Amino acid sequence: MTFILGLIFLIFTIGGLDVLKSYRHFSRKELKARSLKGDPLATKLFQVATYQNSLEMLMYFFIAVSFTVTFFIFNSQMPSWLSFIFLFLLILVSFVWMPNLKASYFGIKTAKVLSGPISFVLDYVHPFLNNLTLFLKANFRKNDHIYDLKDLKNRLVDISKDQRTSINVEQVKLLENMVDGLSLEVKEIATPWHKLKHLYVDDTVGPIVLNELHKQGQKIVPVLNDKKDKELLGLINIERFDVNKDSSVKSKLERPIFYINENATLIDAFLTFSETNYAAFVVIDDNQKNVGVLTLGNLMERITKGLAFEENAEEIKENEAIS
């Protein structure tokens, strides 16, 4: 009975690797495109593949547990030398030979069947697993670089203190902000979705609504289909609204909608703004869920952060000296 249990966990180990490989077999873009065309297999696989890091962490955890249980069961049923040979061959097959093979028919079908349960689990553990993956990558990734962004920032500080430099305080601050921005991600400066006021396509906008939006500093407003399905139809720019001519939301709807991933860097964002020549993007997560809005104003505000304050501070000092 114990030997049969060991075989079951052995199948779980190999099966887990085959299923993980099946989710990697197709690119996410391909799965999404096929899913939109109604392909049932792609729909199921895309449901799970969007979790990326969390999916791999969950599957590797399952594989590690299955492999560990298999090891202890067979080790208790066989002589040590035979158990060692068996598990050595298992490691070669599972982690060397299998990853180099194409996804099997069995693996793809199993991945499709398990998509529902795996997606259900990932819905709950995704935030934890994703943060854990990012932490591990940040702290255990080998870094062979001699210089990093901190060195560049420190160099800017040294230059600003050098009496021979012609770079003023505002210029140094601007450069420091730009260096800091290189390590930032879009989600850190975008306006969160839950903080945005939304309008519906059949709404009309009057002076009261415009005044409210101006007060909270929101220039870009997402437009939803209705209160039931809340499908995003487009964006409107309230600075282009003239209630005296036409106050309907539908008439000011701007399409197409441009998207950017929340994990994209600010450099990616600047390049995207440059390529599209559009000043607002809907920020999405790895599951294609809307999580915020990024505007060119968000980027410029981050890059120029603190400049006005320092300038005012110097003016105050000069005025105090004069008086």
Residue 323 has a pLDDT of 42
Residue 133 has pLDDT above 50, yes or no: yes
Q: How far apart are CA 31 and CA 2, in angstroms?
A: 41
Q: How far apart are CA 82 and CA 68, in angstroms?
A: 17
Please state which of the ranges 26-30, 213-217, 276-280 shows the lowest mean pLDDT.
26-30
In terms of Cβ atoms closer than 10 Å to its own Cβ (0-12, 13-18, 19+), residue 21 is buried
Residue 146 has pLDDT above 70, yes or no: no
Orientation of helix 105-140 relative to helix 2-25, angle to 10°: 80
97/308: higher pLDDT: 97
Q: How far apart are CA 299 and CA 290, in angstroms?
A: 19
Give the pLDDT band of residue 144 (cuts 50, 70, 90).
low
Residue 292 has a pLDDT of 92
Residue 94 has pLDDT above 70, yes or no: no
Give the CA distances from residue 123 to residues 29, 111, 267, 288, 293, in Å, rounded to whole numbers and listed in that order: 21, 17, 30, 14, 23
Residue 304 has pLDDT above 80, yes or no: no
Judge whether 233 and 253 are in contact, CB under 8 Å. yes
Residue 139 has a pLDDT of 66
Q: In whole numbers, what is the pLDDT of the chain averaged over residues?
A: 78
Q: Cα dihedral angle (128, 131, 133, 138), rounded to 10 degrees?
A: -160
Residue 310 has a pLDDT of 44
Judge whether 217 and 267 are in contact, CB under 8 Å. no
Average pLDDT, stretch 46-56?
83
Give the pLDDT band of residue 313 (cuts 50, 70, 90).
very low
Give the CA distances from residue 95 to residues 21, 68, 86, 106, in Å, rounded to whole numbers and listed in that order: 11, 14, 14, 18
Give the pLDDT band of residue 312 (cuts 50, 70, 90).
very low
Residue 322 has a pLDDT of 46
Q: How far apart are CA 140 and CA 307, in angstroms?
A: 36
Q: How far apart are CA 194 and CA 207, in angstroms?
A: 23
168/233: higher pLDDT: 233
Give the pLDDT band of residue 309 (cuts 50, 70, 90).
very low
Residue 169 has a pLDDT of 74
Q: How large a percentage of the chain has pLDDT more than 70?
A: 83
pTM for the whole thing? 0.48
Residue 89 has pLDDT above 80, yes or no: no
Residue 138 has a pLDDT of 67
Residue of 286, 261, 263 lying closest to 54 (CA atoms) = 286
Residue 294 has a pLDDT of 92
Residue 171 has pLDDT above 80, yes or no: no
Strand-strand pairing, 259-261 and 191-192: unpaired
Residue 21 has pLDDT above 60, yes or no: yes
Give the CA distances from residue 188 to residues 137, 291, 303, in Å, rounded to whole numbers and listed in that order: 19, 11, 13
Residue 231 C-alpha from the chain's centroid: 21
231/26: higher pLDDT: 231
Question: Per-residue b/e over 299-313, b at no fewer than 16 CB within 10 Å?
Answer: beebbebeeeeeeee
Judge whether 78 and 3 are in contact, CB under 8 Å. no
Judge whether 260 and 273 are in contact, CB under 8 Å. no
Residue 293 has a pLDDT of 92
Q: How far apart are CA 218 and CA 235, in angstroms?
A: 12
